A and B are shown apart, each in its own frame.
Chain A
């Protein structure tokens, strides 16, 4: 019963490098979300998806891209990482009920 998983758990990047964060859910949920959490703050929505093949911008989308080619996966890409993108990234999914279920998070450090 994996729920929502995220890969990797921790990553260090140099400024300008690119990477992709993978989120996978096994609950057959339609909605998926990517949030970032900066120190001492709540979560802010980056991008979201309401179903396979769809994506939309959230509150802080700049510098990120996403794709939802398969219903169970939601990928978050950083094309050219910046120190301001140092954060903890959370993926979440939601079915027909109200609750969003979160993954364990990915800690990203951009030097």
Chain B
């Protein structure tokens, strides 16, 4: 079974509008972490935001927020006021419990395209 599922292969959003990128996860661990990374066309992986499973508040970082719904096992990324530079691939990832290597498992990604 997929541990991280991103059901939207591609999405369009109008510049200055908000957009939500979906991520659902599967784990039986009580302690885990959820991450979002951005990969622009240049190829680098840029860390955006982190949510711990015990964090009561949804994480926010500037225009990025993580809509964490623990019971539904979803960790959607919300980008407010989209900009042309937000066009990129976005990956959701999970770190389960405190495994020896603190490894991340990635979803398949969502390609976001911002229209001017």
Chain B residues near A31 (CB, 8 Å)? Answer: 101-102
Query: For the complex, is B56 an interface residue (Cβ under 8 Å from A)?
Result: no
Cα A102 to Cα B109 with chains together (Å): 17
Query: For the complex, is B18 an interface residue (Cβ under 8 Å from A)?
Result: no
Cα A98 to Cα B49 with chains together (Å): 11
Docked complex: B27-75 residues within 8 A CB-CB of A? 33, 35, 37, 43-47, 50, 52
Identify whether the interface residues of B are mostly helix, strand, loop, or mixed.
Answer: strand
Cα A35 to Cα B37 with chains together (Å): 14
Interface range, B side: 20 to 34
Contact B109 A99 (CB under 8 A): no
Check A94/B102 contact, CB under 8 A, given A41-B109, A42-B91. Answer: yes
Query: For the complex, is B25 an interface residue (Cβ under 8 Å from A)?
Result: no
Of chain A, the residue at the smallest CB distance from B101 is: A48
Cα A102 to Cα B42 with chains together (Å): 13
Residues of B participating in the A interface, judged by any CB pair closer than 8 Å: 4, 33, 35, 37, 43-47, 50, 52, 91, 93, 95, 100-109
State the 9 A-B residue pairs at the shortest beta-carbon distance, nearest first: A42-B106, A102-B45, A48-B101, A43-B106, A105-B43, A104-B44, A42-B108, A99-B47, A98-B33
